[in-house]
Structure formats: C-alpha cells, structure tokens
A and B are shown apart, each in its own frame.
Chain A
C-alpha cells in the first residue's frame, strides 16, 4: 500500500506528526523562534519539550540523512589520523567531526547539518570534495572529540597558560629571584637583629605602620568612589528592556562542580528562569571523573538540551580552574560565565553583561557581577560574610572599576569575552584564586575588567571550619597571585602603570599581609594595655608611635564604619550592628591566613574544597 501522505515541509510538522510534541508546544516554540531566532527543533529541546535524541533523529529524517547514535559507534567509523589534523576547538565550534576521507569523498559527522557554519568548514577544508553528512547529537559529537583529543585537552587545560606565558603561571611558586630576595631579606633581618636590634625592630614596626596607613587610605578612597555606583547604574533597566533579543549571542555557562549533588537542582531551576533565550544558552556542567553522585543527581533533574555534562579526566592539580579551562574548549558562546552549583543569579544578569560588553567597547575582557548570600540570617558567620561581601562587591570593586584599577575577580559570575579569555591563556590551574589572578593578568595584558549591577546569590559558609578552609584557599591564592605578578616589578609597572601597581601591592599583596601581621600587632597592643610596660618604648619612637595610634584608632574605625555603610545599598539593616563585631571576624581571617601561609609552602596547589549545601536556609525563589 502506498501512502498518499505529503512529506512534512518543516521539522515542527514532522515532530508533531510523530507525536513527539503537541500543537501548543509547537506554537510556543514558533513564537519563541519569531522572538529570538534559532533552530526550531533546538528550541523545542532546550525548552524541554523533546529529548535531544528525538530531535536529532527527527532532524536526520527530515533532511533525509543517516543518523548515528552513541560515541562508540561514531568512533569506530572515525579515522583518528584524519581527525588529528584538525584543531579540536574548531571541530567543536563548527559542530563537525571529519570521519573518513577517501579520494574525493569525505564523511562528516555533524550535529548541525546543512548549516552555514558547516558549509564554511567544508569550504575551508574540503572544497570540491563530495561530502556525506551523518547526523549525530551535539553531545555525542562533543564526547567523540573529547575522546579523540583527551590527552591534548587535559594537557592544555593544565599547562596551557604555562605554554603560552610561563611567567604568569603559578606552577612555580617562588621564582629564583624571589627566593634570593627572601633569603637576602632574611639574612639582613638576622644581621640587623644581631647587631642593631632596636633599629631593626623600629624599622620593621615603622614599615608595618606605613603599610597600614596606605592600606586604610586606599580602601577609604576606593570605597568612597565605589559608593557612587549607587547613583549611576552601569546598565540601566531601560537598556535591558530595549535590548534586541533576536541579536543575542550564544552564552556559555560553565558550572564546575565536585560532589555537590544536593545543590545541583537549585542551579538547574534558577538557570531555567534566566531571562535569556534558552536556545542561546550553552550550559556545561563540569564534573570530575570520580564524581558520579553529582552526575546522577544532575541526570535525575533531567535538564533540557542546552545542558551538557562534561567529565574532566583525572589529573593533577584537581582544581576548579583546570575544570574551567577544560570546559572552555567546548564552549560555543561568544560570551561565557561561571556559576557555582549553588548560585542563583538575577534573571537579567546575562543580558546586562551583553549590554555592558557592547557599551564598554573592545578593551573590556570581563564584567564581574556582584555576589551576595541568600542565607545571611543563618548565624554569626553568615552575617559577617554577607557584610563583607556587600562591602566588597557593592563598594570596593565598583571603586576599582571607576578608578580603572586591576580588579581581582570573584569566584563566580564573571562574564568573559571568550576570544579574549582564550587569548590571555584563560585560568591558571595552579592558582587557588584563579579568578583574582585572571583579573590582574587581564589588566596587565591591556584589557579592562568592569563591574555590572547585577547580583548572584550564593550560599554563605555557615560553619567555621569550612569557612577557614575556604578562606585559607582564597588567601593562599592571593599570595600566589602576588608572587606571580611581583616576579618582575618593572614589567608589572610597565603593564599596569603606577596606580595599578600600587593598587596591586595594597590589595593583592596587602590583604594577606595585613591578616598575617594583625595578630602580632594585637598581641603587642594588648600586652601594653594590660601591663603598661615600657619595654616597647625603644621600638616606638614618636613617629612610629603616632602612626601606630592613628592606625589603631582610625584603621579599626574605618574597617568597622565602612561595613556599617555597606548594609544600605541592599537594605540589610538588620546586619548593621554586627559590623561592630568585625574585629572578631578579622581574627578568623588571620587564622585562615596562617593556614594559607603554611599551605603555600607545603601544598601550594591543593584545592581546599568548600562544602556547599550545608545551609539550613532554603534558597529564595528566583523572580522572573
């Protein structure tokens, strides 16, 4: 019997005919397509109406092309020698895998058949050849490329920065020059203490006090300038509303996770509500090889087709930046951001980032969104942490941005221009605050880092031990970043200028230094307070004494007062009295700093894992 049925003119019709979607879903997808552009089938699968597999199978049928499912079946047909002639990132970008070349005939696996970009690829590499296309799913294609280039990917994820610019890699903790310098200073110190102890100690004390004065003055200046961001939003609501959505580029979101099955659902739900066309989102969940529980949890939540799970092959160092570098190879977006598993970004954040990039011009490589906490009321620690972050992201970073100084990026919600990110070597996998390092490196390479007025809510560390682990990692990373960029002070000065150099020394070097020195100063102060001993007098000549008193009074006052102000922007008024308890919080910082210093020498690349999902507070619903 011959069927009289006409072939479907569109893929929507075919999917409808096959019963894979309903009429309403089709209409919704068509409206979506009208609004945002893009492939209808892909829209349907990113909206979660059809499975990825069904879409690609239907696509193959619609285009009358063969379809192959599963990585093993793909790989058995691939000529590995042929593939190795290609740049794997190019294959990922063009969504194509050349399988065989025999005479004039070439066999290509593709997840985007008959597309413009496939034609570009063919014209570039196989012009005049007879091309046979075989449809595969995008995920199978990526996994096949990953399998074929496994060694290369992981090597470049680990050593890419070192190959490109070894001087910026933290894989060498101390340079030879730094070892000699530290040794020289130590010897001088010992000689000084032996022959002229009073002079040496006075000099040390004086230098510490000068540092404190500069540090307090610097933070005050930055904060005052930063507080102006309240008055002028870098990206306005009107600009977001006026954004032409059809022209929005593909946006990659990297989600590096490790053993965080309990929070993965939060992220999937919040990213579903992001105000950005789902078909233009490219979400990559980066999993470690041994982390099956998070993978299973993610699968259970059945994310739509714009999610991809990438497993990072086991290798040392086992760090987030290495995972991000790995994910970057597979990123399809023009822009890219990173979210942690427990993150809840404000829905319009990606749009604001796109606007910011368009407004700010070519010089900008990255825009940092503010980070804050949804569980701030949980306990003393979360309250203090929220105060600290409110100050850091709402005042300090905008201040650095306005003064055009290097910005140490936050751990997540930093939005990158992918091309520029790749150009400067992406993240340093040996640095435990790869984000801060990247911000400084970008600045040094002539790029700017900006700040956008959007917030991502995270889970504040609610347990002291966990907090100290996390903080020690951050401070160790600051130490690494300082050591890396201070290797060649002249080069640093030439690349970031005098203001940038001062800011770098005070912020990146000064932060851990202050935390390390504080307990010594507190001890000296309290011993004097309780004993009124005159033993200190030789080490505190008038100038040093006055500076010490000014730092004691004004420095501490400013530290507390700036935190008082920090609650206003977000209206966290109930946290304000806790700002007076900052000295206690600083003690915790110092403990973490000494742990960091110890680790810098014993296990510099060790990634102290922060345990997430331990809050008793439920994350808030994302407003759409």
Chain B
C-alpha cells in the first residue's frame, strides 16, 4: 500500500512538474499569483532585513507557506498539487466508494490540473472546505470526537487559505443545528463551538498579527493591496454586487452557462434525497456551501467569473457521493465525463486569461503577451548584468523580476525602511530604477512622471519593453 502510494505520488509529481516545466520553458508562463507568493517568501527569508512581516500580512498565508520551505515554483506546485491529489486518492481507498472512474476524470480534468499546478492556494482552500464538511458529516454519523476536532481545525484553516470562508460560517452553524434536532441543546451548542472556534480564533490571530506587525489590526482589509481587492473586478459582477436579488440572478445565470462543467454537482444534489443516515435538509445545507460561497462572493463584489472554480463543485459532488453511497452510479460517472470533456472547450472562451491560455495550450496555442514572463526574466538578467546593487522598484508590479533575480537584496522595495529616502533622492543611493509600464499604480512611475517618457534626472534608459523600463545611474561604475 505504501509503495503504491509512493509510486502514485511520484507519478503525479513528475506529471505536474513536467507540465509546469513545459509551460515555463516553452512559453514563459507561470501564474503570477505563484510568483507573488514566491517573491514574498523570498523577501521574508532573504530580504533586507529578512523578516516574516515582509510577507505583508495582507493575503491569506496558505499560499506563502510552501514557498518558505521550497523556493522553486515548479517544486512547490508539483509537490502541493500531487499531495492534494494523493489525499483524494487516499480518501477513495479508505472509503471504498465505487467511483474510481469519476475520480480519474476529476484528476485529469484540465481545470483541476490547472489549479493543481498554478492555483495551489485556491485548490488548498477547496480541499480544506470539502474535507471539513466531510468530517463534520462523519462526526454526525459516528459521534467520534476526532472527526469533530479535524473538521473544526480544517474549517479554521480555510480562513488562512481564503478569508471569505467567514461568509460560510453561519451556514455551517445552521447545518449543524438542523442536523442535530434530535439531540440536547448542550450537545448542539458544543458542536457549534468546536466547529467555529478555530475559524474565529484564527481570524482574531490574524487581527493580532496585523496589529503587531502592521500597526493596524484591519490592515489586511484596508490595504490597497488587500486580498479583498485583489481579484480583477468584473464589470458584470460590480453591477450586481450589493443587491441580494441581482446577485442571485447573476449566480443562477452563471451556473446555467457553466452547467456542463458542474453537472455532477446537480446529479449528486438529486441523488442525495436517498441518503438515509442524516436528514436530507441539513445535508443539503452542507452541500450547498459552494453555492453560498459563490453567492456571497458575488454579493460582496469579490467574484470573478473564472471557470476553474467549478472544481469546488466537482469535489463536493465526489465526496458527497462517496459518503452517501458506496455503490456506483452511471448517471454520476456520465456527468463527470461531461464535466471532463466540457473542461476542454468551455474555458477556451473564458474571461479569465490564465485558465483560457492553459486549456488552449493543450491545443498548441501560444501564450498571450500579457501572460508571458519572458521580459521579466530578461530584465532580471539585465539587472545582474549591469551589476545594479541597489535597484529601486515597486514590487507591487515588478515582483516577478525580483523573484527571478533570486537576490532580493539587490532591490529597494516598499518593505525596506529606506524606500522613501531612496525615492526622494534616488541618484544618491540607487544604482538602477525599475518602472512598470503596465501597472498604473506603480509608485515610481507616479513619482517620476517623466520617467515613462524616457527622462529621469541622473539616469539613462537601458531597457524599454512592453512591461518595464530600466534606468541606470549616470556615471555609475560598479567597480
């Protein structure tokens, strides 16, 4: 068994690593979120000074953690992706439901693969959410406290993967309350506390960490780089957010348009009516968590209509099918097949450029310029070639360059105490200046208004590309 697991892990790891490597070496593509995590982890470990607070305490920390251990995105992605996938396989081996084909169809679903190698933080969140629900249901079935414990901890950890998990807490509570109507109040209340204490404790811890390191407990919300403002705002979503009804209509419309991708979810929703162990209503509440997450994300304007989010529906479908019935279901398997096949075609028209490119790449498409990291790599090389020992940059936009350089001490960034001193008189301190052209909020571009046009006092332009402009100080002699 151990050998089988290890072999499977190696297989998954090498497949993911190969795919990741192909995309990077052939097309210079890595999802920017990964590079963002990697750069922040690099700053935390090798910054000037190296400090954990260089992570920013703005984004949920789950994405950063693997980069603190393994620095290479290819290793992090392959490792995390394969471990998560292996977890699902293990679940199947342990629970023994007869849905092996459905599992295979999920593991090879292009959107799942995309998440496994490029959006590990989102996939981790989905796993945490679905398994926290799974263990909650298991506790209700068996009454074993271990399951309540694991469920509570996993649900708590979802906060560190995606702050929006707080939205679903009330529904978790409702699910627990409704599924235990035959039990005494003290038990129901206890279970509720066990389930929700971790998520609230972790939330308070996050406030505390923000207070300690950023001087403001709400820094992660107020910051201009806040997680809550990070997803690219869709105009459609912006127009319906804030309205309960419009959000609902939008969600239903979106689900309808993507129904082939999430068909198994609805098949299982229908099949759950025969689930005998629990009363169906509370089980539905647990099962509806992905929908609730969608809905509240739309309502609060933190939703982007990307299709890879369909994976959470598939995971819920697979796990709930697994815990509600061990027998095979042709309808379920067929729906998984539909989801699998449609994942090759629907994303081709997706508004989310990363997933669109990823699926297109299966058909031999080339990466869009905006996604290619070729220039980022070249600029990082130039900085080394010009021997820029102190490069002033705004890593809100230029983080890929900082990461690719591998030497964060070559940069003076916002986390450095001396950043604003450098900004006021760069020619006294900075050997080079890196401006982002595409980033409208680049601090340097805003401060040195003529720089975008190629003029910067005391510096001369050495590189101008699609994304960046690199200036070198006049008379700078590294020797």
* B186 within 8 A of partner (CB): yes
Complex CA gap A224/B147 in Å reads 10
| Set of chain B residues within 8 Å of A490, measured between Cβ atoms | none
A227 touches B205 (CB 8 A): no
Min CB distance A551 to B, Å, is 12
Q: Please, what's the 1-or-0 string for B179-197, where 1 marks a CB less than 8 Å from any CB in chain A?
A: 0000010110110011001
Q: Assuming A564-B194, A564-B197, is B149 touching A573 (CB within 8 A)?
A: no
Question: Does A561 sit at the interface, judged by CB under 8 A?
Answer: yes
Residues of B within 8 A of A230 (CB): 144-146
For residue A486, CB closer than 8 A to chain B, the reply is no
Cα of A542 to Cα of B153 in the assembled complex, Å = 27
Is the beta-carbon distance between B193 and A577 smaller than 8 angstroms? yes
Contacts of A567 in B (CB 8 A): 190
Asked if B212 CB lies within 8 Å of chain A CBs, one says yes
Which residues from A are CB-within-8-Å of B149?
224, 227, 561, 565
Report which of B51, B190, B205 forms a contact with A576, defined as CB distance below 8 A: B190
How far apart are A227's CB and chain B's nearest CB, in angstroms?
Answer: 4
- Knowing A227-B149, A557-B198, the reply to whether A571 touches B209 (Cβ < 8 A) is no
CB-based contact B186/A574 at 8 Å: yes
Q: Which of B143-163 contact A (CB under 8 A)?
A: 143-146, 148-149, 152-153
Q: Which of A553, A569, A573 contacts B189 (CB 8 A)?
A: A573
B209 with A224: CB separation less than 8 A: no
User: Does B465 sit within 8 A of A, measured CB to CB?
Assistant: no
A568 at the interface (CB under 8 A from B): yes
B284 at the interface (CB under 8 A from A): no
The interface size of chain A toward B, counting residues with CB under 8 Å, comes to 23
Residues A227 and B144 in contact, CB atoms below 8 Å apart = yes
Whether the pair B208, A553 counts as a contact (CB closer than 8 A) is: yes
A99 CB, nearest partner CB in chain B, Å: 61
Chain B: residues with Cβ within 8 Å of the partner, total of: 27
User: Most chain-A CB neighbours within 10 Å: which of B144, B149, B187?
Assistant: B149
- Contact partner of B145 (CB less than 8 A), chosen from A227, A546, A557, is A227
The yes or no answer to A231 lying at the interface (CB within 8 A) is yes
Q: Is the CB of A565 within 8 A of B209?
A: no
With beta carbons under 8 angstroms apart, the residue of B49, B145, B201 that contacts A569 is: B145
Q: How far is the CB of A548 from chain B (nearest CB, A)?
A: 11
Cβ-based interface call for B242 (8 A): no
Q: Is the CB of B187 within 8 A of A571?
A: yes
Does A125 count as interface, using CB distance less than 8 angstroms? no
Does A573 contact B145, Cβ atoms closer than 8 Å? Answer: no
Q: Give bound CA distance, A530 to B427, whole Å.
A: 42
How many Å lie between the Cα of A577 and that of B190 in the bound state?
8
Min distance, Cβ B177 to any Cβ of chain A, angstroms: 14
A573/B186 in contact, CB under 8 A: yes
Given A228-B146, A569-B145, is A549 in contact with B190 using a C-beta cutoff of 8 Å? Answer: no
Q: Are A568 and B52 in contact, CB atoms less than 8 angstroms apart?
A: no
Other-chain contact of A542, B51, B189, B197, B212 (Cβ < 8 Å): B51
A577: chain B residues within 8 A (beta carbon): 193
Decide: A231 and B193 in contact? CB cutoff 8 A. Answer: no
A542 to B54, CA, bound (A): 12
Question: Which chain A residues numbered 217 to 257 have a C-beta less than 8 Å away from chain B?
Answer: 224, 227-228, 230-231
Q: Which residues from chain A contact B51 at a C-beta distance below 8 Å? A: 542
Q: Contacts of B189 on A, CB cut-off 8 Å? A: 573, 576
Provide 14 A-B residue pairs closer than 8 Å at the C-beta atoms, listed in order of the A residue.
A227-B144, A230-B145, A230-B146, A542-B49, A542-B52, A561-B149, A561-B194, A561-B197, A564-B190, A564-B193, A565-B194, A573-B190, A576-B186, A576-B189
Known pairs A224-B146, A231-B146, A549-B209; list 11 more (Cβ under 8 Å). Answer: A230-B146, A231-B144, A549-B212, A557-B198, A557-B201, A561-B149, A561-B198, A565-B145, A567-B190, A569-B145, A576-B190
- Which of B's residues lie within 8 Å of A, judged by CB? 49-52, 142-146, 148-149, 152-153, 184, 186-187, 189-190, 193-194, 197-198, 201, 205, 208-209, 212
A interface residue numbers (CB < 8 A to B) = 224, 227-228, 230-231, 542, 546, 549, 553, 557, 560-561, 564-569, 571, 573-574, 576-577
